[in-house]
Every structure is written in C-alpha cells, then in structure tokens.
C-alpha cells in the first residue's frame, strides 16, 4: 500500500536544532520521509554534516549549519541561512538542542552553579532565542515544536537543573502559544520518557531495561517512537492544537 503521507511536507521547510545525532537525527530523517526540505543545525559540525548526508541519501533536500543556541547572533545567522534554503520561510521549527548526557547527577546542594547556567542556557534560553530568531520567517501556518521531558512530571532526584530547565520549556511553550497564536502559529511541546539514544545509554548500565516495568507498554522507547508526535504537531491535523505538552513515554505516567 502506498503511504499517502509521503509528500505531506512538500514545499515545506523544517529547521531542527541539536540534529547531530540522537533524537535530532531521527526527527530529521522522519521529516525527510514526509517530503519536507530539512535544515539541520548543531554545535557539532561533523555530526550535523553526517545527518545532512543521510537526509540526502534518503532522497530529500538538506541543508546544514552550525549554531550555538545560547547566542543571539548565532541563532539569528542560522535563521537567515535556513530561510534562504526554505525560499524565504521556515514552516516548522523543532527546538531539540539540549544538554542532557553530560549533565551531572548530584543533590541540589552539590550542583555546580556554572553547570546550572550551562543547562539553563542551552535547554531554556536556547528555545527562546531560536523562536525569537525564526519568528520573522514563520508563516501563518507555522509550527513550533519544543522538546521538554517526562521527567518534569516524575521529579527525578539529583537532577534539579535538568528537570527545572525542561519544566521551563513547558511554561515557555504556553506563553509562546498565546503570543504567536495571534498570527495563526501553533506552539507545542513533546515530553519524551527515557529514550534509548546514545546519550541515554551512556547514563547507566542496562539502559534498555530502565523503567520498562513501569510502563503500560512494556518495552524500551526508541528515538523513532518520538518522531510521530513531532510530525503530528507539525502537520495539518494539529492545526487547532496549541500550548499543549504531549507526553510520549509508553504510559509510564498519566498526566
């Protein structure tokens, strides 16, 4: 049977940050499979170049660049370049860039203030700066998808700065939805559960079994499990959905 969704992104451009690997690369390939032009960016230039190569290999148009999402000038330069790739517009922004695997787990009294600032800078300031930079290029049918985390709802111990940053993404999403909604643009968030990326596997031994016994679906989450939520929030079927956070964790938590 032919997949009628294969060209749903025709003539639409998506910009994905944090796309050098992990979820970002999976998002990029998922959007490519739906016919989008895919612009990918990361601070890791080699990794994001490989993502672009894989997109082209899949038969989609790709552009890649470097971005430091904590820098206003860097995000603005990225927005200009990506909009040129998108013929003057960016239809979808996926704010995926984050500090995650390198975050130190420690009691709140032991968190290094410098690491706190780094986590907040990338995970919370970053999405704001990206939307600020991309906003002029978002059409009235534009979509913003922010990445939060289901750990916000479980309140994972010894991870205060990461959890707080991802909780802030939910708050940021709600305010952005109201402000950009006046132009017809939707802003939503995805809160994935523990997902088997390379970064996640590096956090612990036997990561494949972590939390599986707590889910309604008794299997580990793969990056591809999160892609469908992003495609939905970027597409026409979610045109009246905004300011929401979609938890994708296999039923480990019900919000």
- Three-state DSSP state, 43: coil
- Three-state DSSP state, 42: strand
Angle of helix 160-181 relative to helix 113-120, nearest 10 degrees? Answer: 30
CA dihedral over 103, 251, 170, 72, signed as positive or negative: positive
Q: What per-residue confidence (pLDDT) applies to 195? A: 64
Q: How far is CA 110 from CA 12, 104, 120, 198, 204, in A?
A: 46, 10, 17, 26, 20
Read off the pLDDT of residues 51-89 as tens digits, 9 standing for 90 and up.
Answer: 999 999 999 999 999 999 999 999 999 999 999 999 999
Residue 69 or 205, more confident = 69
Residue 235 or 193, more confident = 235
Query: Could you tell me which residues come within 8 angstroms of residue 201 by beta carbon, excluding any fewer than 6 positions away?
Result: 207, 208
Residue 99 or 201, more confident = 99
Catalytic residues: 162
Mean predicted confidence (pLDDT) in 172-187: 98
Would you say 32 and 13 are in contact if contact means Cβ atoms under 8 Å apart? Answer: no
Q: For 221, which DSSP code?
A: B
How many whole angstroms separate alpha carbon 200 and alpha carbon 179? 34
What phi, psi does 229 have (nearest 5°)? Answer: -65, -40
| Sheet strands side by side (includes 92-95) | 62-66, 37-42, 13-17, 92-95, 143-147, 186-192, 245-248
How many whole angstroms separate alpha carbon 99 and alpha carbon 110? 18
Q: For 207, what's the count of Cα atoms within 13 Å in the CB-facing half-sphere?
A: 15
Q: For 209, which DSSP code?
A: G
Q: What is the DSSP string of 193-218?
A: -SB--HHHHTTSTTGGGTTGGGSSS-
Q: What per-residue confidence (pLDDT) applies to 6? A: 67
Would you say 18 and 137 are in contact if contact means Cβ atoms under 8 Å apart? Answer: no
Angle of helix 45-57 relative to helix 22-33, nearest 10 degrees? Answer: 20
Q: pTM of the predicted model, to two decimals?
A: 0.91
Q: For 250, which DSSP code?
A: S
| Secondary structure element (H or E) that encloses residue 204, with its range | none
pLDDT band at 136 (very low <50, low <70, confident <90, very high): very high
How many whole angstroms separate alpha carbon 227 and alpha carbon 16? 12
pLDDT band at 254 (very low <50, low <70, confident <90, very high): confident
Give me the CATH topology for the region 13-192+226-248.
Rossmann fold (3.40.50)
Would you say 77 and 39 are in contact if contact means Cβ atoms under 8 Å apart? Answer: no
How many whole angstroms separate alpha carbon 68 and alpha carbon 48? 13
């Amino acid at each position: 049977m032919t997949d009628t969704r294969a060209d749903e992104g025709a003539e639409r451009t998506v910009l994905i940050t944090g796309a050098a690997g992990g979820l970002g690369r999976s998002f990029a390939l998922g959007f490519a499979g739906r016919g989008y032009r895919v612009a990918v960016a990361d601070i890791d230039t080699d990794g994001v170049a490989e993502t672009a190569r894989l997109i082209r290999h899949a038969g989609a148009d790709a552009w890649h660049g470097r971005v430091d999402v904590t820098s206003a000038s860097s995000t603005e330069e990225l927005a200009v370049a990506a909009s040129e790739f998108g013929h003057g517009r960016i239809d979808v922004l996926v704010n995926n860039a984050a500090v995650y695997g390198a975050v130190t787990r420690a009691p709140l009294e032991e968190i290094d203030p410098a690491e706190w600032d780094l986590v907040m800078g990338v995970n919370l300031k970053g999405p704001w700066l990206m939307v600020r930079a991309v906003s002029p290029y978002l059409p009235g049918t534009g979509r913003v998808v922010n990445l939060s985390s289901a750990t916000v709802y479980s309140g994972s111990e010894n991870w205060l700065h990461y959890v707080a940053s991802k909780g802030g993404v939910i708050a940021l999403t709600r305010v952005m939805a109201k402000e950009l909604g006046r132009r017809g643009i939707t802003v939503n968030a995805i809160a994935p559960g523990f997902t088997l990326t390379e970064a996640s596997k590096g956090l612990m031994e036997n990561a494949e079994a972590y939390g599986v016994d707590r889910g309604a679906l008794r299997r580990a989450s793969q990056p591809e499990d999160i892609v469908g939520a992003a495609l939905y929030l970027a597409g026409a079927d979610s045109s009246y959905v905004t300011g929401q956070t979609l938890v994708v964790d296999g039923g480990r938590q019900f919000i």
